[in-house]
Structure 1
Amino acid sequence: MSREPIVVAPGTTLGETAQLMRDLDVGMIPVCDGNTLLGMITDRDIAIRGVASQLDPASGVEEVMTKNVLYCFEDDPIEKAAKLMEDAQVRRLVVLTRDKSLIGILSLGDLATRTEERATVAEAVKAISEPAFH
């Protein structure tokens, strides 16, 4: 997992967040109050919920962030994290301590490059990549 991810506060503007995403070359940033995870802001949230709704770029990310965030705990088995990603068809998973403090983000790339569980990774990639509607 990527440890100590860059985060934004709920009042950070959409414009500042979009610039940060551009500069970091990322599409998702956790929204936190200290170490407490409040939600996630994605480039899609900014485009679909912000720009398409004609929100001012000075609006805070809390207006468009995703509040229900999928997560795993730092001591969960990798298979459990992969299964969560498969079931939700997501490529990234927030990693929390047992007291629910944010400590990292686990990506599909992390699974692919940092684990020997090739079957687990292959199954996760297949399930995540399948269209939701058949």
Structure 2
Amino acid sequence: MKVKDLMTANVSCCQPNDTIQRAAQLMQSVNCGSLPVCENQRVVGIITDRDIVLKAVAAGKDVHTKVSDCMSRKVITCSPDTDAHEAADLMAQHQIRRLPVVDTSGRLVGILAIGDLATVDIHVNEAGDALSRISERTQSQSAVH
């Protein structure tokens, strides 16, 4: 099965010059925890609710802080024709839960979430395995000292 068969095609995104307040409002309106950051429909970053909390709120920055000041710039993507198994491996390898999907010209055409893999019977175990591998690092990093 290909990523294009599982991905969400209508993806909200924000721009680097948007404020983190605008990004948070978009996340609220579409009920998600991350947004691709795009310029000219090309992905240049990802911003998560966690990025906003840790890089802005915890640092005492205000709601007018630019998305570009908080976003992650290293973005792992795949194409619509990527095999779903390969996408799950990418998510596990890079410990990410969402994978922007871009066409051959680099334009955002969708997003694949770990939960999308779990909705298809043949990928349930693979999604669970990928989530376990993604969560391993997160759990070890959050150990209380």
Whole-angstrom CA distance in 1 between matches of 2:72 and 2:55: 10
Aligned residue type for 1:102: L
Name whichever of 39-48 and 111-120 sits farther off.
Answer: 111-120
| Mapping for residues 1-134 of structure 1, pairs under 5 Å | 1-114=7-120, 116-131=122-137, 133=140
Name whichever of 15-24 and 93-102 sits farther off.
Answer: 15-24
Task: Flag structure 2 segments of 5+ consecutive residues without an equivalent.
Answer: 1-6
SS of match in other structure, 1:71: coil
Deviation at 1:4, TM superposition (A): 2.5
Whole-angstrom CA distance in 2 between matches of 1:38 and 1:107: 18
Distance 1:11 1:115, change over 3 A: farther
Aligned residue type for 2:33: G
Whole-angstrom CA distance in 2 between matches of 1:30 and 1:103: 11
- What TM-score results when the alignment is normalised by the length of structure 1? 0.89
Whole-angstrom CA distance in 2 between matches of 1:131 and 1:66: 18
Whole-angstrom CA distance in 2 between matches of 1:73 and 1:115: 22
- Given that 2:115 and 2:127 are in contact with CA atoms closer than 8 Å, whether structure 1 keeps it comes out as no
Deviation at 1:125, TM superposition (A): 2.9
Distance 1:15 1:119, change over 3 A: closer
**Sequence identity, in percent?**
36
Task: Please list the CA deviations of residues 13-53 of structure 1 after superposition, one character each: whole Å capped at 9, or x if unmatched.
Answer: 11121122122221101111121111011101111111112
Distance 1:67 1:50, change over 3 A: same
Distance 1:37 1:115, change over 3 A: farther
Deviation at 1:98, TM superposition (A): 1.8
SS of match in other structure, 2:122: coil
Whole-angstrom CA distance in 1 between matches of 2:110 and 2:121: 16
Task: Flag structure 1 segments of 5+ consecutive residues without an equivalent.
Answer: none
- What TM-score results when the alignment is normalised by the length of structure 2? 0.83
Distance 1:33 1:131, change over 3 A: closer
Deviation at 1:70, TM superposition (A): 1.3
